[in-house]
Amino acid sequence: MMNHTFKLTALALTTSLLAACGGGGGSGGGSSTPSGKTFSGVAVDFYLENATVRLDDCNNYTITNATDNNGKFKFTLPTGCTASAITITGGIDTVTKKEFTGTLKVKSRNLENINNAVASPLTTLEAILPEEDFKEVLKNLGFLETTDVSSFNPVTQGSAEQLATVFLVQQLLTQIEDAIEESGASADAATLIAAEALGEVLKNEPLISNGVYDTSLFADIVAEAEELVPFTIDTTSIANNVTAISTAVSTVGLSGNGSALVDALTSPTNSALLEVIQESIPAAPVIPSSEFTQLEIGGRSLAEFKNSSEATPMLLAKEEFSGIPTINLTLARPNVNVPETAKIGLEVNAGPKYLNLVLDSVKIYFNGMGLATKAVLPAGSSVKVKSNVTKLGRYNNFTLTPNADIELTVNNGVIDLGSFSDKSDSLQSAFNTYYNEVVTVGAAEVNTYVKLSSYTASPNLGINQVPSANVLGTVFTNAYYVEGYFKFNPVTTP
């Protein structure tokens, strides 16, 4: 359970901007037919060698190992690709010789009218931050507000101080991104949150003044990032790492131009300082598999369900009972572009009165933090309901097959499986009848079956799989099974 709350703006950010910034996609995607028009540019952290370049708005057209040892890339655009945002990942930093685990972004632009485009930490901030915030950040990083970062190469056009600042910005972004990705967020969401956190702090405070970095801001930026996610990150280690890097580059010297800083850092004279920088850059993060890492049922945690028994049931207020058919799944490494399909079964045995519910196909859409944002019963799917409560009338055993998509209610990641009944007053009345009929002096049992199309349960959850189960004629193969017990508190009578 988290001991802090996170800013809801982060979720708005990850859902609203992911589409604008591309997101997801595999290598070699998009049209393979060349247009005859070439596009060239350079990737600068320091220079990135063997990096991957993706054109986000051209079906994620991707070129692997695209950059040379000077960070330069040049390739023929696919047919129909005239404008796109750009994402650059991977490769090796040619100064530190460390694997680049971060992300560079360039906002959408016409690719046919430019050559030698620059992708740098500054273009990442420009692509993500509001324009006015970006101008303030740029100024507080020691650049003119009017700097065209899309053509500004900090190695060849910047001062040593500006190049060092660009490198520090990328270290902050990358180390925050890596920490967020390790907790299961998508790469695009991690980049957006890291940039948002940096922008929130540096739009108000200068990072460097008179050649001296305000290292206290590193901790402020990482703390801001932690407020934007629903989990903790190692804020101290990240702030300490970037502080050590800033001290090392400052010791090398911030006078002269960007190329002079590169020469100084790669000189044998400064090998000890370069080693400090290298040791302050963590190894590539361990990225979780495609798993669901959290499961809540009826507003209760998985631990509460697992710890309940017939002898020690969960205590439930009667008004809470209608919330039993809700589920909250959190995914690691969510694909924000493709919904996950779930088959869900629910058996509620309250004394002699039972209610079984099966949704054989629910399409669930997740944001970059792995939280559900939308759930749909697609046309042609089926919902089965069965109960032995005679007052339900024809609804004590019926099947609904929608001829059009039905959107379920989703609130803060919680999917209300019973909300399909909102489309029918009589069906809603039947559900309410069951809720009002169910009163027990003993423990009631809730059995839940969940089967996802491509995600498995994290081993840390300790959920059992059943080889086969049949709920209302729907077969669940290797579904995850959770059993729990509850009783009303206080026990009420009709």
How many angstroms separate the CA atoms of 290 and 338, rounded?
A: 13
The pLDDT value given to residue 16: 40
| Tokens standing for residue 34 | 């060349």
Signed CA dihedral, 137, 112, 87, 17: sign only:
positive
| Closest by CA position to 22, among listed 62, 59, 77 | 59
Residue whose entry in the numeric block shows the structure tokens 């695209």: 66
The pLDDT value given to residue 377: 95
Question: Which contacts (CB < 8 Å, 24+ apart) does range 298-307 have?
Answer: 298/323, 298/324, 298/325, 298/326, 298/446, 299/323, 299/326, 299/414, 300/484, 301/1, 302/461, 302/463, 302/482, 304/484, 305/446, 305/482, 305/483, 305/484, 306/462, 306/482, 306/484
Beta-sheet strands, E only, within 237-389: 291-297, 300-301, 314-316, 326-331, 340-350, 353-366, 372-377, 383-387
363, β-bridge pairs: 341, 376
The pLDDT value given to residue 441: 52
For residue 133, count CB atoms less than 10 angstroms from its CB and return exposed for 0-12, middle for 13-18, buried for 19 or more: middle
How many angstroms separate the CA atoms of 200 and 428, rounded?
A: 46
CA gyration radius, the chain? 27
Q: If you ran DSSP here, which 8-state letter would residue 56 be given?
A: T
The pLDDT value given to residue 3: 38
The pLDDT value given to residue 324: 79
For residue 374, count CB atoms less than 10 angstroms from its CB and return exposed for 0-12, middle for 13-18, buried for 19 or more: middle
Q: Which helix (H) or strand (E) holds 221?
A: helix 216-227
How many angstroms separate the CA atoms of 337 and 185, rounded?
A: 14
Coil, helix or strand at residue 20: coil
The pLDDT value given to residue 11: 40
Q: Say how many Å lie between the first and final Cα of the chain, rounded.
A: 36
pLDDT along the chain (494 residues), means of 10: 40 41 40 67 96 93 92 91 94 97 95 86 98 97 96 97 98 97 92 97 97 97 95 96 98 95 97 98 90 92 93 83 84 90 93 89 95 96 90 84 94 91 74 70 84 94 94 95 85 47
Residues 6+ apart with CB under 8 A from 21: 56, 85, 87, 105, 127, 128, 188, 191, 192
416, β-bridge pairs: 326, 409
For residue 306, the Cα-to-chain-centroid distance in whole angstroms is 28
Instruction: Write down the H helix ranges in 118-215.
Output: 121-128, 131-140, 160-182, 187-202
How many angstroms separate the CA atoms of 69 and 66, rounded?
A: 10
| Closest by CA position to 10, among listed 444, 344, 369, 312 | 369
Q: Which pTM value belongs to this model? A: 0.79
The DSSP annotation for 103-119 comes to EEEEEEEESTT-SSEEE
How many angstroms separate the CA atoms of 380 and 378, rounded?
A: 6
266-289: b or e for each residue (b if 16 or more CB lie within 10 Å)?
beeebeebbeebeebbbeebeebe
The pLDDT value given to residue 36: 65
| Tokens standing for residue 490 | 């206080």
The pLDDT value given to residue 33: 55
